[in-house]
Structure 1
Amino acid sequence: MVKPYNLDNQQMFLKQLDKVEPGKEAIVDLSFETPIKLTYGQLEDLANRTAQGLIEKGIRPGEFVAYILPNWWEFIVATLAIWKIGATACPILPALRDHEVSFIMKKSKSRILIFPEAFRRFQYETMIDRLSGDLPYLESKVVIKSRDPYDIKNCLGGLAVNEPHLEDIDKRMPKSETNAQLLFTSGTTGEPKGVIQTHGSLSFAVEAHRKALGLTENDIIWVPSPLAHQTGFLYGMIAALNLGAKQVLQPKWDVKTARAAIEEHGATFVQAAMPFLADISRDPHPPKGLRIFVATGSAVPRQLAHDATAALECKVVGGWGSTETCLVSVNSPYSDDERIWGTDGKVIEGMEMKVTDEEGNEVPAGIEGMYRVKTPAMFKTYLDHHDWYEESIDENGFFMTGDLAVMDEDGYLKITGRVKDIVNRGGEKIPVAEIENLLYQHENIKDAAIVGMPDPRLGERICAYVTLNKKTDFSLEDITSYLDSKNVAKIYWPEHLELIDELPRTITGKVQKYILREMIADKLQIKS
């Protein structure tokens, strides 16, 4: 059973930052050849100064404060400053553009937007200027041009210029039930939802995470996942701050910088999506030094987990979480059970999960059903759509994840697909995740995704989208003969093959299958 959670942990978290040795290194920002480094003392001072700047901008407790920032030290300072004055953080992924940014700004009604002048050759200031006439709530644009944390006058767009009035800031300190975070779902279905988490729910999540994985203040947390996504935000930034540990921020993805994070700056822990794991483990010289890699976002194929464990010489484990619930299951890096590969782990202490039929009745071990979870790390509501929230929670308080899963007799979870991702071939439900996992083991296949394609007779047939390791002749027969060798029933074989250079993914690595379904549907219409 889930234990009641009433402790005001998040207030304690903000206060406990004062207790960390001020001279201890807090942040290593790998934006430049010479990293930007901040101690905990410097971080606290900059956060207080920025909090003062937000107060002077008229930001009130409870307001949403929007910011588009890469994995820079400024992201961490801005988040702490927002929280110190009782406001709600609304981070926006740097990969988003006009349409998405406009949508989030209007939904959040944020009166302020903090953003870089430019990042990765994209001019954010130009975009915001272009959008300004269509953002009715925006009053203050804070443009970051100076990246130097010692340039107090100009860093953080000038927000940190004044000395803080600590008594005024302390009066605004949030409580457990205060809104902490507004994150929009990353768009695997094409319809983003604004998820609101409280300080209490995030605090429970990060503390449960620490206990489950045995993390300590001596770990060094590597953050290649976007800080504007829950993986980077909570299990990178906040995990490190909660531990009083050092975090290494990687703003742009490349293996060379990843190697520096691990081998030069000592990173021991990372939680990130499968593509990050694949890239570093398949490099000719895989970086050594990590202790734990928790791969989330999609199931880690057993072969990749096996190969990565050997290449990186660290523990590779899977887990399941969502923006709405945070991490609910994870495999123990201290277990020798081979089920830490190829499963999504066991339930984290203090949380509940179950697999049910459509009516909510638990099904026996080994039987596929609907995956539901219950946790003190549960979100509060969907912004402007509490009806969506109510529809997602069953009568017993369990969140209906939309995933299909199987749980074995020992409690190991295995996500088998999405309720809306089933290929319904004439009434036969196709085990999509299982087929994808097998295809991933094919020597010529780099990446694979199975989707349903429209069929006038069966409703749907099975379409495989595949990317190859190298240019070669590759046909549907190569796939079917391979699956035949694996003794896969013929009814589960793909009936159409589409070769593609790269699968469409969200910024966090999830395959956007709705795009693939649209692509094959459009192609079939063109052919007809």
Structure 2
Amino acid sequence: MTHYAARVTVDDFRDAVPSHLAKRFRAEGWWGEQTLAQVIAGHAATRPDAPAFHADHGTTTWSQYDALSSELAAVLVAAGLPEGSRLAVWLPDGATVHVTFVAAEKAGLTVVGIGARAGDRELAYLLGKTSATTLVTMATHRGRDMADLFETLRVEVPTLAHHVVVPVLDGAPAGRPYVVDGQLVDPAGLAPAPAERAMGPDDLFMLNSTSGTTGMPKCVMHNQNRWFYFHQKAAENGHLTSSDVFLSGVPAPFGFGLWTAHFTPTILGAPTVLRERFDADEALELIETYRATVVTCVSTQFIMMLNSPDAERRDLSSLRAMFTGGEAVPPTRARRFEEVTGASVLQFFGSNETGLLTGTTLSDSFEQRMTTAGRVVPEMNVRLFDGDADVTASGAGQPAGHGPALCLGYLDDDTANAELYTEDGWMLMGDIVTIDDAGYLTVTGRTSDFIIRGGKNISAARVEEEVATHPAVVLAAAVAVPDEVFGERVCVYVELNPGRQLDLHSLQDHLLRRGASKSDFPEYLIVLDSLPRASGGKVAKGQLKSRSAKDLLDQRRSAQMSTQES
């Protein structure tokens, strides 16, 4: 069987999915012929003044969303950008970034979605890796002049030829000027982008990056139909309708942010509340102000909201569901979130690459939602592997899927694609899971996130879950530290609630009282004011692992000095 990635090269953005698979997915009702731009045009015709986005700088209606994306598409075509070329988008979260994505679709350009927090090195790497010809920014980015940065990038990236500066489009009327290659461009009077240039639902509409914690990211290839399929499952699992109001906490270029802000609310015709930067107190205020019914966020974010004093003070009664994931979901914190808000906590298990493989639903029992990642989705044909061996029958192993939610592979990366796919085309995830007789999946660890102590595999996720039950702990991240005798030992980094203190002895006493397995006891504890985050919002565990030896040495020296002084 030929897997998806074999059909796509850097020069080929059409027909990225083998025709027999696309035909089958359509016959099964998972894929269709509609694009997001067409959906938006429909909403603009039937509900023109209804809100599409509530962002930092204003509210954008469906008619504005449609008109602004058409206007920007005309600007891009008039700038001479070739059909199928790569348009790198480096914008903060808000209506503007979504307008730009749709404008690229209308102009027949593939978006290179770059997280707003990307550094210069990552930005230059992604521009070069994707052969981007154009960079879209605002005039300034985090206080820096983008015209100056663009000139620097042009030296590093040979393909980079154009710089498009967009104004803030949140709630803006059409007709505001753009800056293309340093020249003001008045969109009035420009010819519309030719309809024949528009992307189709199977085309390579976006390249985004993995939010890896070490090394340079890989570029993941997406068509729209995989996200239209994902939407169907999300709407079914959460009983989502056009009456919902979404609050999205995940940046738009990443997979979680794509379905929670760019696709599902738009397909439904429901408004989305966005902010450039996540703040727990503000998020709670926004739920109250806009009467949000659905929150989408990574576990770190809902824990931050739960630990805010405003969680008890704000009126959160409108909230009925929270979709979370992207990292381990601590059951004790999820239970508490339900108690405080009255909302049901739901999650999907999957990745930017695989899409969803499982999901919990409103129909699942409380225990199923709290202790599992949900039931396997039949059409994703999940199998389990131990190395090259298919161990599906055993109910435990490394999961792989094949179905309508999969991405198109990694761009121009044969080595990474060889690791991503099995020989017969199933896409692997980097987790270790169990699947029970009813089809419910539980994550027990990651293939690369085990701490091997004395020959025993210790799940970092399980250690983190246990440590997070301590009332002083806001967030925990477990990493391996080298040891001459045991090979590795368990070190846990924690963020604490304001005014709280914690030492290793107190933490171990707490875990002992809980009856936790001794293998889940951390042997070292390091307290930080804030754990470092990767671009997608997850804890940057690679950074923690690389600094752990120095942190432990500093901790020992500090303890010795305290002893000497006393």
Regarding TM over 0.5, the answer is yes
Q: Which amino acid aligns with 1:76?
A: H
Q: Which amino acid aligns with 2:381?
A: E
Selected match of 2:383 from 346, 354, 357 = 354
For the residues of structure 1 that align with 2:491 and 2:60, how far apart are their CA atoms?
50
1:341 offset after TM fit, Å? 1.0
The answer to whether structure 1 residue 252 and structure 2 residue 274 are counterparts is no
Aligned to 1:51: 73
1:318 offset after TM fit, Å? 2.3
Q: Which amino acid aligns with 2:187?
A: V
Aligned to 1:177: 202
Aligned to 2:177: 154
Q: Which amino acid aligns with 1:42?
A: Q
Aligned to 2:32: 9
SS in 2 for 1:4: helix
Selected match of 2:456 from 428, 436, 455 = 428
The answer to whether structure 1 residue 311 and structure 2 residue 331 are counterparts is no
For the residues of structure 2 that align with 1:285 and 1:354, how far apart are their CA atoms?
43
Gaps of at least 5 residues in structure 1 are none
1:155 offset after TM fit, Å? 5.5
Q: Is the 8 A contact 1:329 1:348 kept in 2?
A: yes
The answer to whether structure 1 residue 234 and structure 2 residue 254 are counterparts is no
The answer to whether structure 1 residue 193 and structure 2 residue 218 are counterparts is yes
For the residues of structure 2 that align with 1:120 and 1:25, how far apart are their CA atoms?
31
Q: Which digits, 9 at most, give the CA deviation of each residue in 1:347-380, with x for residues without a partner?
A: 2353232333233322556x64212222212111
Counterparts in 2 of 1:510 and 1:258: CA distance versus 1, 3 Å = same
**Superposition pairs of residues 33-432 of structure 1, within 5 angstroms:** 36-145=58-167, 147=169, 149-150=172-173, 152-154=175-177, 161-163=187-189, 165-166=191-192, 169-286=194-311, 287=314, 288=316, 289-348=318-377, 350-363=379-392, 368-432=396-460
Using the TM superposition, name which of 247-256 and 46-55 deviates more: 247-256
For the residues of structure 2 that align with 1:63 and 1:219, how far apart are their CA atoms?
36
Q: Which amino acid aligns with 1:343?
A: T
Aligned to 2:473: 445
1:293 offset after TM fit, Å? 0.6
1:152 offset after TM fit, Å? 1.4
Aligned to 2:42: 19
1:455 offset after TM fit, Å? 1.2
Q: Which amino acid aligns with 1:321?
A: G
Counterparts in 2 of 1:329 and 1:271: CA distance versus 1, 3 Å = farther
SS in 1 for 2:267: helix
Gaps of at least 5 residues in structure 2 are 1-20, 558-566
Q: Is the 8 A contact 1:50 1:160 kept in 2?
A: no
SS in 1 for 2:371: coil
Q: Which amino acid aligns with 1:56?
A: A
Counterparts in 2 of 1:351 and 1:491: CA distance versus 1, 3 Å = closer
SS in 2 for 1:15: helix
Q: Is the 8 A contact 1:25 1:39 kept in 2?
A: yes
Aligned to 2:516: 488
SS in 2 for 1:245: coil
For the residues of structure 1 that align with 2:186 and 2:296, how far apart are their CA atoms?
31
Q: Which digits, 9 at most, give the CA deviation of each residue in 1:2-28, with x for residues without a partner?
A: 993147635354323332214242433
Q: Which digits, 9 at most, give the CA deviation of each residue in 1:185-210, with x for residues without a partner?
A: 11223331001112332322223322
For the residues of structure 2 that align with 1:66 and 1:274, how far apart are their CA atoms?
29
SS in 2 for 1:382: coil
Aligned to 2:3: none
SS in 2 for 1:423: strand
SS in 2 for 1:9: coil
Taking only the aligned residue pairs, the percentage that are identical comes to: 25
RMSD: 2.6
Q: How many correspondences in the alignment?
A: 522
Counterparts in 2 of 1:231 and 1:122: CA distance versus 1, 3 Å = farther
For the residues of structure 2 that align with 1:211 and 1:361, how far apart are their CA atoms?
30
Q: Is the 8 A contact 1:274 1:509 kept in 2?
A: no
Counterparts in 2 of 1:302 and 1:277: CA distance versus 1, 3 Å = same
For the residues of structure 2 that align with 1:271 and 1:176, how far apart are their CA atoms?
25
The answer to whether structure 1 residue 456 and structure 2 residue 484 are counterparts is yes
Q: Which digits, 9 at most, give the CA deviation of each residue in 1:86-136, with x for residues without a partner?
A: 221112111112111111111112111111123554544443344333232
Scaled by the length of structure 1, what TM-score is found? 0.91
Aligned to 1:502: 530
For the residues of structure 2 that align with 1:146 and 1:317, how far apart are their CA atoms?
33
Counterparts in 2 of 1:71 and 1:350: CA distance versus 1, 3 Å = same
Q: Which digits, 9 at most, give the CA deviation of each residue in 1:265-320, with x for residues without a partner?
A: 23222221112212223333334122211111112111111111111121112222
SS in 2 for 1:420: coil
Q: Is the 8 A contact 2:446 2:459 kept in 1?
A: no
For the residues of structure 2 that align with 1:41 and 1:523, how far apart are their CA atoms?
54
Q: Is the 8 A contact 1:237 1:247 kept in 2?
A: no
Q: Is the 8 A contact 1:149 1:155 kept in 2?
A: no
For the residues of structure 2 that align with 1:523 and 1:58, how far apart are their CA atoms?
53
For the residues of structure 2 that align with 1:252 and 1:159, how far apart are their CA atoms?
30
Scaled by the length of structure 2, what TM-score is found? 0.85
Using the TM superposition, name which of 481-490 and 301-310 deviates more: 481-490
SS in 1 for 2:471: coil
SS in 1 for 2:389: coil
